[in-house]
Amino acid sequence: MNNILYLDKEECYLDTLLCLQTNVTTLTDAMMILKHYEDTEEYECCSGILKAINEYRESIKINKRLTRGHKLL
């Protein structure tokens, strides 16, 4: 019997976002992982990874805007 396991979109999203936020992985690594799941046709997981990457990129932009112009004491 062939047991096929598909990864859930939300699970991939949460895992990827947590890894990016805690610096366990980089955006480059996340893109390589995304490529792997595309190659194995895990499109639900790809969708979650893309959502996490986009959210993380947006948070970086916001953090840069907030810290721009502030000098360290």
73 residues of the chain, pLDDT tens digit each? 456 677 899 999 999 999 999 999 999 999 999 999 999 999 999 999 999 999 999 998 887 777 666 555 4
Q: Please indicate, yes or no, if residue 73 is contained in any of the structural domains.
A: no
Residue 69 lies in a domain: no
pLDDT for 48 equals 98
Is 72 a member of any domain? no
Which amino acid is it at 38?
Answer: E
Instruction: Give me the phi and psi of 68, to 5 degrees please.
Output: -65, 130
pTM flag (> 0.85) = no
Q: Provide the number of structural domains found in the chain.
A: 1
Print the domain residue range for 22: 9-63
For residue 14, tell me if it sits in a domain.
yes
The rounded distance, in Å, linking the Cα atoms of 45 and 35 is: 11
Indicate whether 35 belongs to any domain: yes
